[in-house]
Chains A and B, each alone.
Chain A
Amino acid sequence: MTDAAITVEDVRKTYGGGGGTNRPALDGLDLTVARGTVHAVLGPNGAGKTTLVRILATLLRPDAGRVEVAGCDVVREAYAVRLRIGLLGQHAALDEELGGRQNLELFGRLYHLGARRARARAGELLERFELADTGHKAVKQYSGGMRRRLDLAASLITEPEVLFLDEPTTGLDPRGRAEVWESVRSLVGGGTTVLLTTQYLEEADQLADRISLVDAGRVVADGTADELKAATGGDRIDIVLRDAGQLGAAVALLPVPKDTVSVDTDRRLLSAPVTDRMAALAGVVRALEEAGVEAEDISLRRPTLDEVFLRLTGHDDRVKEAA
């Protein structure tokens, strides 16, 4: 046994058989996740994230390649894998008509905990996810965030070794998102290995030890959040000038190579990658003031997923998919 909780080697999957004209959902994807870590799979819609999770969770068979979860092969030892995993799918997989407690007891029984332990476990999880007061209510009356927390609780009934979260916060409002993030963070201490997929750079940044950037069914970049950000030029500074005529002068003042600065004349906007946020901000404000260049607005921000993508894949798939 290695210390990898998840091993994916050259996995391929095309829906509707490989012979047709369908684009492969996974096209030779490789991935290794170390035990006890949180790994984010980041990519746009249609990159193959959900297909990957479905294969890892034994819901879908890969066409080719090797996939092991918790030391077991997902095809040949599917049952053993199922004993060791928890799954949080894209949609809250709950019985809407039943109460929160009833849902957890149902799943507990299906994990063969027995009636008494299923009941006790449901109680514990409701406490832990702050749903104890609403456990009797039908799930259809829950808010999005509550639903997601109950869903997460359901995937933790057996304290799985490996937990899959497929876009855990898509469709949630900021508060629901914060609630889910908090819950995921609390898991990490327990030694659970977590693989989560997301479209949000910030989410990967907040939660993950390592990030795999996925595009068109392959991993295009892999590393810690810092490594990836360094690869994309880190944070960016946006400067809006009062006078478009001064854009050229302003570019010369920025402490970065000229070819990394993007200029939008219509919006009188300069955008440049920076490494040390605060130092860059202070430096830019001082330099502009000394040169007499008047700024209307200066802001620091993380690179957007588009910018990361553009940088790492050389094409902007997200925009294309959205169009």
Chain B
Amino acid sequence: MTAATYALTDSWTMTRRELARWKRQPVAVLVGLVFPVMLLLMFGYLVGGGRGVSGDYLGFLVPGMLALTMAFGLEGTMLAVTQDLNKGVIDRFRSMPMANGAVLVGRSAADMLQSALGLAVLLAVAAALGWRPHGGAAGLLGAVGLLLLFRFAMLWIGIHLALVAGKPELVQAVQILVWPVGFLSNAFADPGSMPDWLGTVVQWNPMSHTATAVRDLFGGPGGEPGHVGAAVLWPLALLAVFLPLAVRRFARLSR
């Protein structure tokens, strides 16, 4: 077999490792899937109605929750990589004659699968609550694509943070910090209803671009035409920074 085939089979083996872990801990997987649903129900019905959003709040909230779920994926990725680092599992992989990148590729593939599953569950629950996308199949596919692209950027930030810090304590810090960062977005409320400076910060949040573009593609409230470009460029820009940084950091574990 050639190096390229090894790279593929090793990456697939690493992905399967994650799938086997899911099978071992179905409850944890279930909790991971149910959590965003809980948030959706909480904000949709309990806390109810975002500031500055008139009319169809569910139509506004669902894209926001989808984007927030992708953003929260960061901590899961970071936790998994940190655990592997601290348990010495990554050392074992690195001492083996396997394709170097497979550790990171397998992690990405598994996390993307999990996020795709998360999106599907959230969309299904939203549909059951009466929410409907109005952008047709193309709009739906485009929205899912944008969300997964955003998740992919979060994933590499997560890998990079784990490789830089490598300490479980820092994962905890990030788990707390994703909340304010997640809420400093337009996921729940219209930035127009916020103080000027805050609205500006919120609009700069890459997650807000994704949420706005997804709203547009779903034909719901809060969508702005022409936002798709920003929702593509922001994640790509983050990837351009963090993917090479993470890969370099991984290679530098031998320093």
Whether A95 and B255, one on each chain, are in contact in the complex, defined by CB atoms closer than 8 angstroms, is no
CA distance A94 to B91 in the complex (A): 10
Q: Does B48 contact A (CB under 8 A)?
A: no
Whether A60 and B92, one on each chain, are in contact in the complex, defined by CB atoms closer than 8 angstroms, is no
Number of interface residues of B (CB under 8 A): 27
List which B56-108 residues lie within 8 A (CB) of chain A: 86-89, 91-98, 102
For the residues of A in contact with B, the DSSP-based class is loop
Whether A110 and B21, one on each chain, are in contact in the complex, defined by CB atoms closer than 8 angstroms, is no
* A contact residues, range: 20 to 34
List which B225-255 residues lie within 8 A (CB) of chain A: 253-255
CA distance A272 to B20 in the complex (A): 59
Whether A98 and B9, one on each chain, are in contact in the complex, defined by CB atoms closer than 8 angstroms, is no
Cβ contact of B255, chosen from A61, A93, A106, cutoff 8 A: A61
CA distance A96 to B24 in the complex (A): 11
- Chain A nearest CB, measured from B6 CB (Å): 7
Q: Does A83 contact B (CB under 8 A)?
A: yes
Cβ contact of B88, chosen from A61, A82, A92, A99, cutoff 8 A: A92
- Closest partner residue, chain B, to A86 (CB atom): B95
Q: Does B1 contact A (CB under 8 A)?
A: yes
Whether B89 and A110, one on each chain, are in contact in the complex, defined by CB atoms closer than 8 angstroms, is no
Cβ contact of A82, chosen from B14, B95, B102, cutoff 8 A: B95
CA distance A98 to B23 in the complex (A): 9
Q: Does B54 contact A (CB under 8 A)?
A: no
Whether B25 and A112, one on each chain, are in contact in the complex, defined by CB atoms closer than 8 angstroms, is no
Cβ contact of B17, chosen from A60, A79, A106, cutoff 8 A: A106
- Chain B nearest CB, measured from A53 CB (Å): 10
Whether A82 and B96, one on each chain, are in contact in the complex, defined by CB atoms closer than 8 angstroms, is yes
- Chain B nearest CB, measured from A6 CB (Å): 15
- Closest partner residue, chain A, to B17 (CB atom): A106
Instruction: Give the residues in chain A near B253, CB-CB below 8 Å.
Output: 59
For the residues of B in contact with A, the DSSP-based class is helix
Whether B91 and A110, one on each chain, are in contact in the complex, defined by CB atoms closer than 8 angstroms, is no
A91-134 CB mask vs B (1 if < 8 Å, else 0) is: 11111111100100011011110000000000000000000000
Instruction: Give the residues in chain A near B1, CB-CB below 8 Å.
Output: 112
- Closest partner residue, chain B, to A61 (CB atom): B254
Instruction: Give the residues in chain B near A60, CB-CB below 8 Å.
Output: 254-255
Cβ contact of A95, chosen from B21, B91, B98, cutoff 8 A: B21
- Chain A nearest CB, measured from B149 CB (Å): 29
- Closest partner residue, chain B, to A102 (CB atom): B20
Q: Does A87 contact B (CB under 8 A)?
A: yes
CA distance A208 to B27 in the complex (A): 47
Whether B96 and A111, one on each chain, are in contact in the complex, defined by CB atoms closer than 8 angstroms, is yes
Q: Does A192 contact B (CB under 8 A)?
A: no
Instruction: Give the residues in chain A near B86, CB-CB below 8 Å.
Output: 91
Whether A98 and B17, one on each chain, are in contact in the complex, defined by CB atoms closer than 8 angstroms, is yes
Q: Does A58 contact B (CB under 8 A)?
A: yes
13 contacts between A and B (CB under 8 A): A57-B95, A58-B94, A59-B91, A59-B94, A82-B96, A89-B92, A92-B88, A93-B89, A95-B21, A97-B21, A98-B24, A110-B98, A111-B98
**B interface residues (Cβ-Cβ under 8 A, vs A):** 1, 6, 9-10, 13-14, 17, 20-21, 24-25, 86-89, 91-98, 102, 253-255
Q: Which 9 A-B pairs have the closest CB atoms?
A: A93-B88, A93-B92, A82-B97, A87-B95, A91-B88, A89-B88, A110-B98, A57-B95, A109-B13
**A interface residues (Cβ-Cβ under 8 A, vs B):** 54, 57-61, 79, 82-83, 85, 87, 89-99, 102, 106-107, 109-112, 138, 154-155
